[in-house]
Structure 1
Amino acid sequence: MRVLLVAYGSRGDVEPMLGLAAALRAGGAEVQVCAPPDFAELLEGAGLPLVPLGRSLRAMATEAVTGTGKALTAESLPERAARMVAATYDSVAAVAKGCDVVVATGLIPAAAAARAVADELGVPYVFVAYFPTFLPSPHHPPLAWPGRPLPPEVTDNRVLWELNSEHMNALFGEGINTHRAAIGLPPVDDVRKHVLTNRPWLAADPTLSPWLWSADLDVVQTGAWIRRDDRPLPADLEAFLDAGTPPVYVGFGSMPVRDARDTARAAVEAIRAQGRRVVIGRGWADLAVTDDQGDCFAIGEVNQQALFARVTAVVHHGGAGTTTTAALAGAPQVVVPQMADQPYWANRVADLGIGAAHDGPTLTYASLSAALRTALNPGTRARADAVAVTIRTDGATVAGKLLRDMVGRETPPMSA
């Protein structure tokens, strides 16, 4: 079996695909991954060749956050989306020959291109989401698209999801259909249904992120796709951890932030005020130690599964992968949400009692101090330990079996 995985997005979109890839290869499957060029080293470390998609996502994200790039508006997005569909299709189609199934996630235009490849080849296509609120349901509202705010006076989620569908058609429909016509495929009249399908997968842990049943979709919740990380921690980090009490970790992963220096300074001061040491993850925010005191240590890419098991709390942006990794380690969390699904994860952490949801994306000494008082409470640690043992680690194995069963049976594709 040959599986094509397409993930045009951040580290949080790509890392779970590597978890699925590991499970598939353990079962003898051949796997090809298409992702932004930022993750070439990550895939090389996993022993997977990368087919790069588009320009650096880090550069685009930094431009968007810092305001150094062109603003994404309702007027500019359709043109950019059309270019992304065509470019992604060219990259994916070039390596798709002989594949048995296509699995896609991330940006909608890129996923639409992946589906176009699957449609041309006549193979199954699966869309995977990593959090429930990306999928239509009467139980939650949709996310708003750039330049297309949701009317605050509307509270009926079904009405909001109808607007979401209209917005997706307006933003992405022309680019998707122009490209489909160019390669001889029929047009689509409902972009959301076309890309997500009637049976999307949800790769999220049922305890952390349960799917509430809805007649609107036949959602398959597999559990989170976790790639086992056996890398040892760097020797200098080990020495720092051994030299004192468990520190608080601060990092925003593949998420740039405004005023990174001020953010790092405020975080260090707030953590010190709690009598704790600090480990700073540089990440795409380029966070750094702001003085030469010995109670802070800055790191690059490390094994977070090992690190989070040795910290007293994790302060992060609220990506699905980081939230799951911290929860699995039993580490209390402070989620400082920046965008997209991150407010959802912040609320889930607070609702489960395993940490605190920071109020807004801008971290200050006062705001983090308040959140840390919750996260560092012994009761929060006890609750985090209790939740940790409920989290499943077999999600990628479950998904791999579903794909093998899908390819093995003679039925219409799941994308139908």
Structure 2
Amino acid sequence: MRTALICNDTRGGIQPYLALAIELKSRGDHVKVIAPEGYTRLAEEVLQPHGISFCGLPGDVEAVLRNPEVAQQMEKGFWATHRLMIQHATSAMCDSMRTGLAAAEQSDRLIGGFGGMLVGESIAEKLKIPFIQAHLQPLTMTGEYPGLLAPTWLPRSMRLLNRWTHAASRQIFWQAMRPALNTARKTILDLAPIRFWGNVGRQKSPGELLLYGYSAALVPQPTDWPQGAHVTGYWFLDRRADWQPPVELVRFLEAGPPPVAIGFGSMSSRDAGVMTRLVLEAVQWAGQRVVLLSGWGGLPVTSLPEWAYALDSRPHDWLFPRCSLAVHHGGAGTTGAALRAGLPSIVIPFGADQYFWAARLQEKQLGISLGSRTTVTSHQLAQAMQLLLNNPDYQHRTQACAEFIEQENGVQRAADLLMNSR
């Protein structure tokens, strides 16, 4: 079986598909990964040892998120950020379609989530091969909980309202992309316009396989989902066997109690200095030590006190078990990594699905959501740290969640379903 996985996202939204590619390769599939060219180095480091090929899609997600204009728009809220990111995706649509088509030509099937589905579903249609949806966020309609973009103040007990919020959340993303997608379908693929409402999170035929790569411990599989839709558990990409941590980091960790880990993944900030001062003040007030994960978050880390250590992003599966709690943006990947390590979370969402994950963590009493990053204060953050660290119930719940996630073995479960669907 020749399988291509197509993904177009930030690093946290790409790593799960790399893990799935490696698992499928280990079971005998000939596998190719199609992802933004800005991740070529990451993909080659991870995939080459397994004999998995990589094709880069045009565009650099990292560069877009670091653009001062994007950071400025992100500070204005979800809708401003949404419009800007749609503009970027639209401008790259035709080039992505052309590149993806060439990369997938010899494949027997295509697999991808929403970002990859934008071009991948049409490419699969052109090549007359199946496209299998494999998402990192819940997109299939249900009455049991609200949709990704539903306001947190909406009542959760109204099943019809919950179902409507799922439909609305999907269409907010889908309708913005549909015109550019149809242009690319016509000019690159010579295909008719796609279905008006799209197929995101929907089965085109009864029982069609539809995968969700997150844990049922956080969002259980709804009883009203159709047959063929599965919550498998997270698809974790573990560090390479030969990876070694920096000596200075090991020394810092061994010099005192487990620190708080703070980082905001791929999210940018126009004034990262303000965020750095805020988190350092909060850590000091809470009487904790801290590891600052700069990554793409842009946190400037000069002249740090002895109780703080700064580094670029390191493997979560190594670092998080050595920490006391995690402060992050609520991305699906970071949320899963913290739960896997048994860490309570404090979430400061930036946008998109991050408010959804923050709400689920708070609902399950696995963490605290502090709302928008534009309103959070260092005092609020310090209080949240003290609450989580001084309340053993949070520790017990997150440890139980970690054990559940370990038993799920999400990437193997997803691969089992994919192998059986041939």
Please say whether Structure 1 and Structure 2 have the same fold, judged by a TM-score greater than 0.5.
yes
Write out aligned runs for 1:322-341 (5 A).
322-341=334-353
The corresponding residue for 2:224 is 214
Aligned to 2:182: 177
Q: Is the 8 A contact 1:288 1:298 kept in 2?
A: no
Worse-superposed segment, 36-45 or 234-243: 36-45
Shift of residue 82 of structure 1?
Answer: 4.8
Q: Distance in 1 between matches of 2:295 and 2:170?
A: 34
- Equivalent position of 1:410 in the other structure: none
Contact 2:170 2:200 in 1 (8 A): no
Correspondence list, 1:51-70, <5 A = 51-63=55-67, 64-67=70-73
Match of 1:40 in 2: 40
Partner of 2:108: 100
Deviation (angstroms), 1:228: 2.4
Match of 1:115 among 121, 130, 140: 121
**Counterpart pick for 1:366 among 331, 356, 379:** 379
Please give the alpha-carbon distance, in whole angstroms, between the structure 2 residues aligned to 1:77 and 1:286. 19
Q: For 1:78 and 1:65, locate their aligned partners in 2 and report how far apart those are by CA, in whole Å.
A: 15
1:195 Cα deviation (Å)?
7.3
Letter in 2 for 1:340: A
Between the aligned partners of 2:86 and 2:331, the Cα distance in structure 1 is 26
Q: Shift of the alpha carbon at 1:188?
A: 2.4
TM-superposed deviation, 1:406? 2.2
Partner of 1:414: none
Greater shift in the superposed pair: 276-285 or 229-238: 229-238
Tell me the TM-score normalized by structure 2: 0.85
- 1:258-300: per-residue Cα shift (whole Å, max 9, x none)? 4211111111121122221110001111213353421111011
Match of residue 412 from structure 1: none
Q: Distance in 2 between matches of 1:266 and 1:79?
A: 32
**Alignment equivalent of 1:346, drawn from 358, 366, 373:** 358
Shift of 1:189: 2.4
Partners of 1:77 and 1:329 in 2: CA distance: 32
Of 133, 137, 141, 1:131 maps to 137
Q: Deviations over 1:184-239 (max 9, x none)?
A: 33332234326754453211111122232335785222221112224332211111
**Greater shift in the superposed pair: 88-97 or 362-371:** 362-371
1:136 Cα deviation (Å)? 2.7
Is contact 1:115-1:195 (8 Å) kept? Answer: no
> Is the contact between residue 211 and residue 221 of structure 1 (CA under 8 Å) also seen in structure 2?
yes
C-alpha change, 1:167 and 1:236, in structure 2 (3 Å) is closer
After superposition, the Cα gap between the structure-2 partners of 1:388 and 1:367, relative to the gap in structure 1 and judged at 3 Å, is same
Find 1:287's aligned residue among 299, 302, 322: 299
Paired AA for residue 331 in structure 2 = G
Task: Indicate if the aligned counterparts of 1:330 and 1:388 stay in contact, CA closer than 8 A.
Answer: yes
Partner of 1:397: 412
Distance 1:81 1:285, change over 3 A: closer
Give secondary structure in 2 for the equivalent of 1:386.
helix
Counterpart of 1:190, as a letter, is F
Q: 1:377 aligns with which of 390, 394, 398?
A: 390
| Range 351-360 or range 262-271, more displaced | 351-360
Q: Any conservation in 1 of the 2:2–2:108 contact (CA below 8 Å)?
A: yes
Deviation per CA, 1:82-130: give whole Å up to 9, x if none.
54332211111111122121011243xx523111111122221112221
Is the CA contact (8 Å cut-off) linking 1:34 and 1:92 kept in structure 2?
yes
Task: Label 1:189 to 1:292 Cα distance change in 2 as closer, same or farther (>3 A).
Answer: closer
Change (3 A) 1:170 1:278: closer
Q: How far apart in 2 are the matches of 1:310 and 1:73? A: 34
| Pairs within 5 Å for 1:227-238 | 227-229=237-239, 230=241, 231-238=243-250
Structure 1 pair 207/215, CA: closer, same or farther in 2 (3 Å)? closer
What is the percentage of aligned positions where both structures have the same residue? Answer: 28
Q: Deviations along 1:346-371, whole A, 9 cap, x unmatched?
A: 12222222221123223421120121
CA distance, structure 2, for counterparts of residue 73 and residue 323 of structure 1:
21
1:220–1:279 distance in 2 versus 1, CA, 3 Å: same
TM-fit CA distance, 1:138: 2.9
> Alignment length, in residue pairs?
400
What SS does structure 2 have at the residue aligned with 1:18?
Answer: helix
Cα displacement string for residues 38-96 of structure 1 (whole angstroms, at most 9, x for unaligned residues): 32222122034432223211222233222499x96998887765543322111111111
Counterpart Cα distance in 2 of 1:206 and 1:184: 41
- Who is 1:9 aligned against? 9
Match of 2:54 among 50, 59, 74: 50
Query: CA 1:191/1:80 → structure 2, altered by over 3 Å: closer, same or farther?
Result: farther
Using the size of structure 1 for normalisation, the TM-score is 0.86
Q: Distance in 2 between matches of 1:252 and 1:32?
A: 29
Q: Which amino acid in structure 1 is aligned with residue 108 of structure 2?
A: D
Paired residue secondary structure (2:43): helix
Mark the CA change 1:165 to 1:293 in structure 2 (over 3 Å): closer, same or farther.
closer
CA RMSD of the aligned region, Å?
Answer: 3.1
Classify the secondary structure of the residue corresponding to 2:335: helix
State the shift of 1:165 in Å. Answer: 6.2
Q: What secondary structure is seen at the aligned counterpart in 2 of 1:250?
A: strand
Structure 1 distance, partners of 2:355, 2:273, is: 23
- Please tell me the residue identity of whatever aligns with 2:293: G
- The residue type equivalent to 2:100 in the other structure is V
| Paired residue type of 1:46 | V
**In structure 2, what is the Cα distance between the partners aligned to 1:78 and 1:318?**
21
Deviations 1:334-357 (A, max 9, x none): 111111111121122222222211
Indicate yes or no: 2:195 matched with 1:189.
yes
Change (3 A) 1:89 1:354: same
CA distance in 2, matches of 1:75, 1:332: 33
